[in-house]
Amino acid sequence: QKGKQEEEKKKQVRRWRRPLMGKPVDDVYLTWCYERPSYDLEEAVGMLKKFQELDFTHPKQFVYINVFLDMALQKNVEPFASTVLLPHRFTEDTNKVLVFTENEQEAEIAREHGAAVVGGVELIKWILEDEIQVDFYVAVPAIIPKLIPLRNKLKRKYPNTKRNSLGNDIPKMLQHFRECLEYAVQDERLITTRIARLDMPTEQIVANLKAVINDICTFKPSTYDPIVQKLVIRSSTSEGLLLNLDGILPQLEKVEEKEETAEDKEEKDVKESVST
């Protein structure tokens, strides 16, 4: 009986707090009375810049996005992590990258292009004992059979053609992983990551955001509904602004083309690895 009474109270509260159909007449109102407003991307970025001026907060603060995903498509999508090279860098910091190779010429190329650590199987022991810790690991195909003991230790950071961390183009891999942005699904359906600094030009912030969203959308089955359900942008000190997804999500044809290209590349890399 007590449980029924509590349930009835909850229903009454939900009925009482049903959002109104109209829009508030000014900028001071009870938020639960109205549907949350959404903004076009450029408009929202302009609002964040205006908030910073009005609040006298730091002009170079980070810009973040919260991406809410539909992980229960017709075929469930497992939580994932990825790296993306943004069109406009917003920090001078670089990631530490380790390169696995036993070829001295390749090792020298890796050092010249900024590898933090370079070596062969002798590094396995130090990595297993946590004596060596870096942000990313890349390898050439010739050494990958000898790195099996590290598979459970490195998990998703184990060199892999699908993640573009296994290949023969050491300079390209180093450029990507030294400068890339890494993001991951948290709490089963949420991605939170920084994408820019607020003092950057609006078009650069927009370009960085779209680059991240395009990369996220490659993880959904291409024939199903968009994986991105809701997108919120904010700065370090501001409130979050809900974005209108029109014009942000990539077109289906483009996503399919990118997926096919990635698959073709992976198949090509595997063949090269076997032949080597």
User: How confident is the prediction along the chain (276 residues), in pLDDT tens digits per residue?
Assistant: 666 666 666 555 555 566 665 777 777 777 777 788 899 999 999 999 999 999 999 999 999 999 999 988 767 788 999 999 999 999 999 999 999 999 999 999 999 999 999 999 999 999 999 999 999 999 999 999 999 999 999 999 999 999 999 999 999 999 999 999 999 999 889 999 999 999 999 999 999 999 999 999 999 877 778 899 999 999 999 999 999 999 999 875 444 444 444 545 554 554 455 444
Specify the DSSP class assigned to residue 230: E
What contacts 38, CB < 8 A, 6 or more positions away? 242, 243, 244
What pLDDT does 149 receive? Answer: 96
Phi, psi of 54 (to 5 degrees): -70, -30
The secondary structure of 96-165 as a DSSP string is -EEEE---HHHHHHHHHTT-SEEESTTHHHHHHTTS---SEEEE-GGGGGGGGGGHHHHGGGS--TTTT-
The secondary structure of 238-249 as a DSSP string is SPPEEEP-TTTS
What pLDDT does 192 receive? Answer: 97
What pLDDT does 270 receive? Answer: 46
What pLDDT does 260 receive? Answer: 47
Phi, psi of 98 (to 5 degrees): -105, 135
What pLDDT does 8 receive? Answer: 64
pTM: 0.79
Half-sphere exposure of 237 (CA within 13 A, CB side): 15
C-alpha to C-alpha distance for 55 and 151, rounded to whole angstroms:
49
What pLDDT does 30 receive? Answer: 76
CB 95 within 8 A of CB 211: no
What pLDDT does 11 receive? Answer: 56
What pLDDT does 276 receive? Answer: 44
Q: Which CATH superfamily is domain 91-179 in?
A: Ribosomal protein L1/L10, domain II (3.40.50.790)
From its phi and psi, is residue 251 left (phi > 0), alpha (psi between -120 and 50) or beta? beta
C-alpha to C-alpha distance for 96 and 116, rounded to whole angstroms:
5
Q: Is 274 helix (H, G, I), strand (E, B) or coil?
A: helix
What contacts 113, CB < 8 A, 6 or more positions away? 170, 171, 174, 175
What contacts 96, CB < 8 A, 6 or more positions away? 116, 117, 134, 135, 136
C-alpha to C-alpha distance for 86 and 83, rounded to whole angstroms:
9
- Adjacency order of strands within the sheet including 117-119: 117-119, 97-100, 136-139
C-alpha to C-alpha distance for 143 and 122, rounded to whole angstroms:
12
Specify the DSSP class assigned to residue 60: T
Q: Which two tokens stand for residue 189?
A: 């359906």
What pLDDT does 17 receive? Answer: 60
Write b or e for each residue in 111-145: b if 16 or more Cβ atoms lie within 10 A of its Cβ, otherwise e: eebbbbbbbbeebbeebeeeebebbbbbbbbbbbe
- For the domain covering 37-79+188-252, report its CATH number: 3.30.190.20
What pLDDT does 252 receive? Answer: 53
Give kind and range of the element (H or E) at residue 228. strand 228-235
User: Could you tell me the residue ranges of all domains in the chain?
Assistant: 37-79+188-252, 91-179
What pLDDT does 259 receive? Answer: 46
